[in-house]
Chain A
């Protein structure tokens, strides 16, 4: 085939009709740009959710106390008080692969220091908690296992709580009154931002769970137990062992429901990312429709162009162009329009998503694969929608074409 000269011919033809070529390519530019930007936004949202899930910690299993019904009122998860400190110790002792366990109790209360006070959440945890959540301290030190054993009056606080009570002062070593009990602040946590549910994770006071039980909340029941496993491969097995262990400890007969709930982090992650995956698909599909419309635009213009240039086609055939030469020429024109449009569209799409992330603060993520797919797809659109007009041109009868007015 005489592709190289035909290529020149096709490019010359596009240059002869600059405005038309640009407008036709614009359909593809908008289509590809929209696909890139939309998928970028969707992926960005997904990545953000995934990052938030990861902030829960790696390979974490959460065990919640079951709900209970007392005179017709159901308490919700954690209300039944079926999880005991001994359960957590049994898990620490008996389940292989466990590298961290944190007994957790939760409450909300007013805290005060000097003339400031603030309503915040109180978390009682073990010393493993900061490792499990991968939540290092910004300043000071965490409480220790010794503090937990002795139920010492120490706590660490989140960034929000610190700012609300102490302003710009250094809170470390200060006394925080929680339910009139004075706690010494040993550290301030690094900011973690909003959770997937939109809760400010830094509005918090964390203390040994023993101290929380004894001095703040009262009671001997755990709301939940956080367990960290060393190896993600062992997650499933460890989860099953925990279920078996707790059923045995709680004397649940086979066939009866568990009085606790076990979730692992992967399940939570899957549930949370499912939404953003659907969103990505939806946005991508809408943008794909505009790419399709762009393709139809190319076909439309190529059909007009074939009709308009019937005489030219006749002349080319008269001087020796074969059907294939004509077909190739028009196909190259269509594919050039669509792939040049595709490249410009990619640039525009990337630019648009960068603008969105800078000015609208939307997280966007452009993957190389989405760029490659968008480009290949736009070239394919050119071939698909260019083929019919090109074949029509190639099938013209030279005598008819020469006589065409």
Chain B
């Protein structure tokens, strides 16, 4: 549509109705995210960042305003059309991983492909899932169940699941919220690595030191964007890990 923006929100409002009361959660947000950006969406709880994330993830529709994703207006699509958009263009990573229990890592990663329009054979599914799992450093753990994996490994399975359909945007909702600091850095390293390969990442977080791994920070408060700036002193997760490793040896 314009100058390589993959996501653009134009005066988006979202109002929830609880009984007689109307609760505005997002009150006029306009933002453009270009292809290849790494954006951290920050704000206290109740700031509207989760609502905005749901809209960006096509899980919810704006009450008014427009959402242009990859050049197409998706603000007023119906449930099934939104499901298809999520399948083709968006990868989700959640705070609590949201893996299917008692299901192998491979089957978890295959999940989006099951609902994809492309017809893949059983072995093609398997092959693709294993390839993506290897990308996030989980080669050899394809048959492990979530309960047999650490938190960081579970989150990597979730990232692999988000990547399998080669989405335009990777949306992460507090991806490090349930992880210790070292594992958080590992996850950030994966995100940065993916971002370098050209994948657009939008991540919600309330931790400033996690937001520092992104290229751009967007602060929200009371349903509007308060601040939007490029990160000047960006942290490099990979080199941090290297230093830590060197220190422990």
Contacts and interface: CB of A to CB of B under 8 A. Distances in A.
**Which DSSP category, helix, strand, loop or mixed, fits chain A's interface?**
helix
Contact of A315 (B60, B88, B98): B98
B115 A2 contact: yes
Given A319-B112, A321-B114, A399-B60, 6 more contacts: A2-B115, A16-B101, A317-B83, A320-B83, A322-B83, A402-B98
Interface stretch (A4-12, A43-51, A159-167, A168-176): A4-12
Contacts of A322: 79-80, 83-84, 115
A314 interface: yes
Contacts of A8: 114
A339 B83 CA distance: 31
Given A320-B83, A322-B80, A399 B59 contact: yes
Contacts of B84: 320, 322
B86 A323 contact: no
A315 B80 contact: no
Given A319-B112, A323-B79, A324-B80, A398 B59 contact: yes
Interface residues of A, number: 24
A324 B81 CA distance: 12
Given A311-B98, A315-B100, A402-B98, A320 B59 contact: no
Nearest to A315: B98
7 contacts: A9-B114, A316-B111, A320-B83, A320-B112, A322-B83, A325-B115, A402-B59
A318 interface: yes
Contacts of B99: 315
Contacts of A87: none
Given A324-B80, A325-B115, A402-B94, A318 B86 contact: yes
A312 interface: yes
B103 interface: yes
Interface in A295-336: 311-312, 314-325
A404 to B, nearest CB: 11
A320 B87 contact: yes
Nearest to A321: B115
B178 interface: no
A322 B88 CA distance: 13
B160 to A, nearest CB: 12
B161 interface: yes
A117 B241 CA distance: 113
Nearest to A317: B83
Contact of A312 (B86, B94, B100): B100
